Amino acid sequence: MSQATERRRSIWKGVKRDRFLYLLALPGIVFFILFKYVPMWGILISFQDYSPYQGMWASPWIGFEHYIRFFSNPDFLILFRNTMAINLLSLIFFFPLPILLSVMMNELRGNKFRKTIQSIVYLPHFLSWVIIVGITFLLLSTGEGIVNQLLVAAGLNKIDFLTNPNYFWVLLTVQSIWKDAGWGTVLFLAAMAGIDPQLNEAAKMDGAGRLRQIWHITLPGIRSVVIILLILRIGHIMDVGFEQVFLMMNGAVSEVADVFDTYVYRLGIKQGQLSFSTAVGVFKSLVGLILVIGANKLAKKFGEDGVY
């Protein structure tokens, strides 16, 4: 009894002592409660037949009906296929590139050239998707697009890159590479800068060439960063950047372009099917959460650090 009072008193003392720290934390805490945790309650409407007029308290509960409807809907398979295809392409073609690129940049001897190359490859990361899609149209459209004009000049046929479903996934991957492969080197280069140069010296003494040094020193040196990024990437396998797909989508490619987020946007915001599209969103986030926890566990099993 008195021990509990004692503890309460000491907690209160700490709070009083640190009142200014709590004051500093307050705006941030209010933000996380209001904009991150209150919407978590909103998930409940996926178990309701929510009507905006009745609100969350008065709308009838219907259990898993929306989820069942979604899984038995042919749309589900299409969305799942598109999301997986786009992400697997990115995992295979995008993910290794920043590693390769940073190894190459790390091997540069001249400091000036290195800085120039870095400034250049970082740059597209800061452009918006609207602009990147706009540039894509400028380059690839069948009308004014420079690529098609070059094809014609070379005596070839024009290619309708933008409206042919066969090119859509490839196009997204290429855009992502152009935009973010350079930016992806930031972490790897930082990790490489932390590798002890004595290791390289010792390897050189043993007669190891540059490629061998890369293989036995540089790559193992960034292994933990690679694994952390891979885990995070796997956690986002259900996410496809909404803006990119939304902006690149057109009637001709919608069959291969529709992903969970564009579907939620269309059905939820445009058509007002709030409960149903919330269920779709919840499903997506839940799978992502399970994947990230699973990947993290796996990493730890293999003796790596993991993300948390």
Interaction residues for another protein, span 165-224 (CB under 8 A): 178, 182, 186-187, 189-191, 194, 209-211, 224
Instruction: By CB under 8 A, name the one of 15, 68, 170, 202 that touches another protein.
Output: 15
Instruction: By CB under 8 A, name the one of 7, 8, 18, 58 that touches another protein.
Output: 18
Task: Pick between residue 88 and residue 130 the one whose CB is nearest to another protein.
Answer: 130
CB atoms within 10 A of CB 174: 16
- For another protein, the binding residues in 58-117 under the rule CB under 8 A are 101, 104-105, 107-109, 113, 116-117
Least distance (Å) between residue 198 CB and another protein = 16
Q: Is 57 in the site for another protein (CB under 8 A)?
A: no
Least distance (Å) between residue 209 CB and another protein = 6
Instruction: By CB under 8 A, name the one of 1, 3, 5, 23 that touches another protein.
Output: 23
Q: How many residues line the site for another protein (CB under 8 A)? A: 98
Q: Is 137 in the site for another protein (CB under 8 A)?
A: yes
Q: Is 302 in the site for another protein (CB under 8 A)?
A: no
The amino acid present at 82, given as its one-letter code, is N
Task: Pick between residue 20 and residue 60 the one whose CB is nearest to another protein.
Answer: 20
Task: Pick between residue 169 and residue 188 the one whose CB is nearest to another protein.
Answer: 188
Instruction: By CB under 8 A, name the one of 9, 31, 64, 96 that touches another protein.
Output: 31
Instruction: By CB under 8 A, name the one of 24, 58, 68, 202 that touches another protein.
Output: 24
CA separation, residue 285 to residues 171, 237, 280, 288 (Å): 26, 10, 9, 5
Instruction: By CB under 8 A, name the one of 68, 131, 170, 202 that touches another protein.
Output: 131
Instruction: By CB under 8 A, name the one of 3, 4, 20, 198 that touches another protein.
Output: 20
| Listed ranges 1-9, 69-77, 82-90, 123-131: which one lies at the site for another protein (CB under 8 A) | 123-131
Task: Pick between residue 92 and residue 123 the one whose CB is nearest to another protein.
Answer: 123
Which position has the token pair 């540069």? 108
Least distance (Å) between residue 223 CB and another protein = 12
- The closest of 125, 81, 96 to 233, measured between CA atoms, is 96
Instruction: By CB under 8 A, name the one of 49, 65, 160, 243 that touches another protein.
Output: 243
- For another protein, the binding residues in 247-286 under the rule CB under 8 A are 247, 261, 264-265, 268-269, 274, 277-278, 280-282, 284-286
Q: HEC profile for the chain?
A: CHHHHHHHHHHHHHHHHCHHHHHHHHHHHHHHHHHHHHHHHHHHHHHECCCCCCHHHHCCECCCHHHHHHHCCHHHHHHHHHHHHHHHHHHHHHCHHHHHHHHHHHCCCCHHHHHHHHHHHHHHHHCCHHHHHHHHHHHHCCCCCHHHHHHHHCCCCCCCCCCCHHHHHHHHHHHHHHHHCCCCHHHHHHHHHCCCHHHHHHHHHCCCCHHHHHHHHHHHHCHHHHHHHHHHHHHCCCCCCHHHHHHHCCHHHHHHHCCHHHHHHHHHHHCCCHHHHHHHHHHHHHHHHHHHHHHHHHHHHCCCCCCC
Instruction: By CB under 8 A, name the one of 62, 123, 170, 202 that touches another protein.
Output: 123
CA separation, residue 2 to residues 5, 10, 13, 16, 42 (Å): 5, 12, 16, 21, 42
